[in-house]
Amino acid sequence: RFFSSSSRPPILPLGVQQFLQRRAIEAVGAVMVLAGLFYFLSLLSYNPQDPSLNSAGASAPTNVMGALGAYLADSVMQSVGFGGLVAAFMLVAWGGRIMAKQPVTRVWLRTMAGLGAILLLSYGLAIFPAPSDWPLRVGWGGVSGLIMTRGFGELLSTELGWLLGVSQGLSL
């Protein structure tokens, strides 16, 4: 029992314990939704000129989520590009389910599927050339997408790779 021991009666009545437990679970869901929104807004306001792990600068970050958002966005954009948006959608979806009192089942399987979706979407985005004014040399799929296009480019056609990336990314 919550807040109880075998030698003493519980501090709080059972109804209050259950109420607090439900609110704590809802709070976890709300934190997940907020984390997903933070992550999403960080990626959307990415600016490669912001100070980050690989870019020093005396100027204040322009990322709407501040310095933490700038560091997060740069790390994600360099590694998996816009494929990283899958993680933001997963956090919001799982947090919403938890807040709606619907359990997230098979978390391990969903996590692995999400990682696969991130990589496939990175691959699909890396197939297309980035515009000439795109600030990153690695393109829209990040380093992961660039590596996969060089390695898988001979195995899969452009259309098949794009369809796999988009369909897997949107399936979550």
Displacement of CA 116 from its chain's centroid (Å): 12
Among the ranges given (2-11, 21-30, 94-103, 137-146), the one the predictor scored with the smallest mean pLDDT: 2-11
For residue 10, give both structure tokens: 């519980």
Q: Quick one: 141 exposed, middle or buried, by C-beta within 10 A (0-12, 13-18, 19+)? A: buried
Cβ atoms of residues 30 and 82 within 8 Å: no
Model confidence at 94, in pLDDT bands (50, 70, 90)? very high
Identity of residue 104: V
Q: Which has more pLDDT, 166 or 85? A: 85
Residue 125 CB neighbours (<10 A): 25
With CA atoms as reference, report the closest residue to 124 among 90, 154, 87, 153: 153
pLDDT (tens digit per residue) in 34-55: 999 999 999 999 988 888 887 7
Among the ranges given (42-46, 117-121, 123-127, 159-163), the one the predictor scored with the smallest mean pLDDT: 159-163
Q: Look at residue 41 in the predicted model and tell me its pLDDT.
A: 97
Q: Look at residue 155 in the predicted model and tell me its pLDDT.
A: 52
Model confidence at 164, in pLDDT bands (50, 70, 90)? low
Contacts of 115 (CB under 8 A, 6+ apart): none
Displacement of CA 162 from its chain's centroid (Å): 20
Phi and psi for 41 in degrees, rounded to 5?
A: -65, -30
- Integer angstrom CA distances of residue 25 from 22, 53, 87, 107: 5, 34, 21, 16
With CA atoms as reference, report the closest residue to 90 among 109, 110, 106: 110
Q: Establish how many alpha carbons lie within 13 A of residue 48's alpha carbon, considering only the half-sphere containing its beta carbon.
A: 11
Q: Which has more pLDDT, 153 or 96? A: 96
Q: Look at residue 88 in the predicted model and tell me its pLDDT.
A: 96
pTM of the model: 0.77
